[in-house]
Chains A and B, each alone.
Chain A
Amino acid sequence: GQNIDQPTEMTATEGAIVQINCTYQTSGFNGLFWYQQHAGEAPTFLSYNVLDGLEEKGRFSSFLSRSKGYSYLLLKELQMKDSASYLCAVMDSNYQLIWGAGTKLIIKP
């Protein structure tokens, strides 16, 4: 079967760094997505990785290792507005997105 695992909840301090991990087992791989979803709002696209390595975009970076079936989202200089759920999703061989259950990130002052 297809499976995406990510922690249910994480807590971090304002101004700090947090890493949210995602491991996956899917039938085929056409890239990995990270989305951010604030409570009561639409998920919004953060990043897409299809090749191994680190992609940096401002305070957010995303890493992929296809051989390990592993990705992480790194958030630096945390701000209160970063409190949200972070969703990991893998595009399988049929170009369908397989989603993790999301990681709820709580930022404390």
Chain B
Amino acid sequence: ETGVTQTPRHLVMGMTNKKSLKCEQHLGHNAMYWYKQSAKKPLELMFVYNFKEQTENNSVPSRFSPECPNSSHLFLHLHTLQPEDSALYLCASSQDSGSYNEQFFGPGTRLTVL
């Protein structure tokens, strides 16, 4: 148990569906991250929030829309995804994003787009 939870753990959706991934951290951290993990590829950083403000958006398609209502919660809204978006989506948190800080990861949501 890392102190970061993600729901759902598994999600299957069609290309026309709208769904949301949820992440919650119980560590009192100020930074939260969304990563995409595809088989045999490096983790891809998608979004970074620091003190609820988005500080990074690494050229992520607009069909992925993040939301950070407070420092403990992070959402990833999904709309009209493509089959190549199928992957493990990991959430992480750290004390803040501007210095060395170990990142704590959630168990991920395994997403399959049909």
Contact = CB atoms under 8 A, between A and B. Distances in A.
Given A8-B40, A95-B98, A101-B40, A43 B105 contact: yes
Contacts of B48: 96
Interface of B: 2, 4, 40-43, 45, 48, 56, 90, 97-100, 102-108
Given A35-B105, A99-B42, 18 more contacts: A30-B100, A31-B100, A41-B107, A42-B2, A42-B107, A42-B108, A43-B90, A43-B105, A44-B105, A50-B100, A91-B100, A95-B97, A95-B98, A96-B48, A96-B56, A97-B103, A100-B42, A102-B42
B42 A48 contact: no
B38 to A, nearest CB: 10
A97 B102 CA distance: 10
